[in-house]
Amino acid sequence: MIKDLRESCLMKARWIALFAALLIMGLPAVGFSQSSCAGIHINILNIRNSKGTIDCALFDSPKGFPVQFLRDATNIIVTKIRKTNARCDFLDIPPGTYALAVIHDENMDGKLNTNWLGIPTEGYGFSNNAKGLLGPPSFSAASFTYDGQDMELTISLHY
């Protein structure tokens, strides 16, 4: 009877060990699987300070670019600044042509503030590091093609 009990315990221990091994072997596939949501990921550089927010606006047409981002942008992300670092992640974006406008909204009023001459007093930047002449750049200067796969972009702010 003790021998039968011992064999039974050994059999249970083997099954538990086999189950644990199978479970552990399956963890890397579960633990390291990638997200099915591809997207456009933007790292923002040259942030002057950690005051306010970073506002990222994604446009899919020239309409309103870049000034009317609250009204005409396809997607908008407002994110806090952490130690002068910020990142905007636009997920599940369909393939197409887009342009990005980013502002450092230091006073969090939802717009890019300017002085009496119209020169920005808060940080701003655009995809392709596009620059305008006596005003913001055009949509075509800032536009890029997105194929639906993960895309990493870097935008440097100008003050």
pLDDT in tens, 30-44: 333 334 578 999 999
Same domain, residue pair 115 and 57: yes
Same domain, residue pair 21 and 55: no
Same domain, residue pair 26 and 46: no
> Can you give the residue range of the structural domain that contains 23?
1-33
Burial label, 78 (beta-carbon count in 10 A; 0-12, 13-18, 19+): middle
Residue 88 clears pLDDT 70, i.e. is over it: yes
Instruction: Count how many Cα atoms sit within 13 Å of the Cα of residue 53 in the half-sphere of its side chain.
Output: 14
Residue 91 clears pLDDT 60, i.e. is over it: yes
Rounded to an integer, what distance in angstroms lies between the CA atom of residue 50 and that of residue 29?
38
- By mean pLDDT, which of 10-24, 37-51, 61-75, 96-110 is the weakest? 10-24
pTM: 0.75
